[in-house]
Amino acid sequence: MAERTFGVFYCDFLRDLSISSSKPEPLAADRLVPLAEQLLVAEDNYLGVVDANEVILQFYLSGREMVVELIFPESSGILQSRMPVEQALALLADLPEEFSEALLPGASYIG
């Protein structure tokens, strides 16, 4: 079985590293959590994961919580949820091939 990969983009202001959201780079699925643990320690940093349909799952810190947003390419709104960091990392560790609203039960649309 081929190793699963997702497109990723991020910004790490502490280390002055970034990958543009317009040119996501492939990353093995099993590297998502280690990358998130490294990146998501400062509130300005973020991580975006892109599925095969160009749907984006974006993560960033807000206080002691993780904000997780689901962004659909043709939509004007963003589905947003707040959760404990551990829950967000567990979500990242077990992503499906295609992202849907089912990933963020109880989330609300903003925008």
* pLDDT tens for each residue of 13-70: 999 999 999 999 999 999 999 999 999 999 899 999 999 999 999 999 999 999 999 9
What is the largest distance, in Å, between two alpha-carbon atoms of the chain?
39
Q: How far apart are CA 97 and CA 5, in angstroms?
A: 9
* pLDDT at 76 > cutoff 90: no
- The number of folded domains in the chain is 1
Cα separation, 78 vs 107, in Å, equals: 10
Residue 90 lies in a domain: yes
The Cα-based distances of 31 to 7, 47, 74, 101 in angstroms read: 12, 12, 28, 23
Its pTM stands at 0.94
Other beta carbons within 10 angstroms of residue 38's beta carbon come to 15
Residue 111 maps to a domain: no
Rounded CA separation 98/18 (Å): 24
Q: Evaluate whether residue 49 is within a structural domain.
A: yes
Query: Containing domain of residue 15, as a range?
Result: 5-99
